[in-house]
Amino acid sequence: MIAALAVVVALGAGASASADPLVPGYGRVAPVESPGMAPDPSVDYKVVLSATKAGPGDSPSMALDHAARLANILDAFHVPPEHRHIVVVIHGMATPSVLNPDGLKAHDLKDNPNAELISRLIAAGVQVHVCGQALAAFKITRDQMLAGIQVDESALTTLAGLQLKGYALIPD
């Protein structure tokens, strides 16, 4: 369902249409004619998204999809990769979104609607972190996690630390 969404790249000053969004199948972007404010390729975008909620039904977490949208928009406006610093911190009820097939089986779950999106985010250069305290609370071990996800001591310290380093927080 989500994978079938076509990504329409924002059309405005400095943007160009692209059939190949940075995060294909996710982070749908609607065209905006003559936007008042648009991404500036000379700006260093340092953004941290807090992902605390599971997605509705069998859909991915909205915070993860927002990370894909942000990456797609910045790419459409030609913000170079070295100016895109996007971090998603998974914690709270979103924590099971890090489960791989073995982890799903161990926790008696059937599917992880976030797995493909997380993989595509990582491939697009988005950092995906998970709270070590939340992993402990959900009894999720590292071998039950999807590849490429960084385990941090806590979401609290990661979110605070990144904001102290100049990252803008986008809560879910």
Give domain limits for the chain. Answer: 43-170
Let me know: does 107 contact 146? Beta carbons within 8 Å.
no
Q: Which two tokens stand for residue 4?
A: 């079938």
Please tell me what DSSP assigns to residue 109.
-
pLDDT tens for each residue of the chain, 172 residues long: 233 323 333 344 445 445 589 999 999 999 899 999 999 999 999 999 999 999 888 899 999 999 999 999 999 999 999 999 999 999 999 999 999 999 999 999 999 999 999 999 999 999 999 999 999 999 999 999 999 999 999 999 999 999 999 999 999 9
Pick the CATH number of 43-170 from 3.40.50.150, 3.40.50.720, 3.40.1260.10, 1.10.10.10: 3.40.1260.10
Backbone phi, psi, residue 101, to 5°: -55, -40
Segment 1-45, tens digit of pLDDT: 233 323 333 344 445 445 589 999 999 999 899 999 999 999 999
Handedness of CA 133, 140, 161, 38 (dihedral sign): negative
